[in-house]
Amino acid sequence: MEEITISKASISDVTTLQVIGKQTFFETFAASNTKEDMEKYLTENFTVEKITKEVNNPGSHFFIAWENAEAIGYLKLNEVNAQTELQDDTSLEIERIYVKSDYHGKKIGQVLYEKALEVARIQKKKSIWLGVWEENPRAIKFYEKNGFVAFDKHIFKMGEDEQTDIMMRKTLQK
């Protein structure tokens, strides 16, 4: 495996984010959802317009993991009013960490998570939080291993299907 680099995404990366976002979301969840729900979610959530708006939001931050010139994963962080739930100025939300399936088990998710921690510490956040699908044991285990604990649940709309996400939080040391 070549050296992995992480770069902050800008407006020029919208197409890359769209492609990697669709691919990794599909790889992660297609087998557990109907074709119709998957198509609806991908069509609504990975448009160039929607991603452009997210990238332009000053409260959202995207980072792309690269192996040479290939995007292999990405991270989306939200602060304050860009957060999907808490909108807490003392915390940072990890909205997405996704890695191409060919790179699972190669610590790319860990590298992206460590970037999230770095951002949270630079911003002097007290905690970092996220929502993870209750039927994604691999991700739950990953976050538990990194010190996250469940604190609530919320509904995530996947197409027409309402799914339960476990909300998890990690308190950061001063």
Helix (H, G, I), strand (E, B) or coil at 107: coil
- The verdict on whether 113 is a catalytic residue reads no
Alpha-carbon distance of 131 to 94, in angstroms, equals 8
Pairing of strands 70-79, 60-67: antiparallel
Alpha-carbon distance of 27 to 18, in angstroms, equals 14
Q: Where are the beta strands (DSSP E) in the chain?
A: 4-8, 60-67, 70-79, 91-99, 127-133, 149-158, 161-171
Alpha-carbon distance of 161 to 73, in angstroms, equals 26
* Structure-token pair, residue 127: 């905690």
Q: Which of 74, 103, 113, 143 is catalytic?
A: 143
Helix (H, G, I), strand (E, B) or coil at 93: strand
Catalytic residues: 143
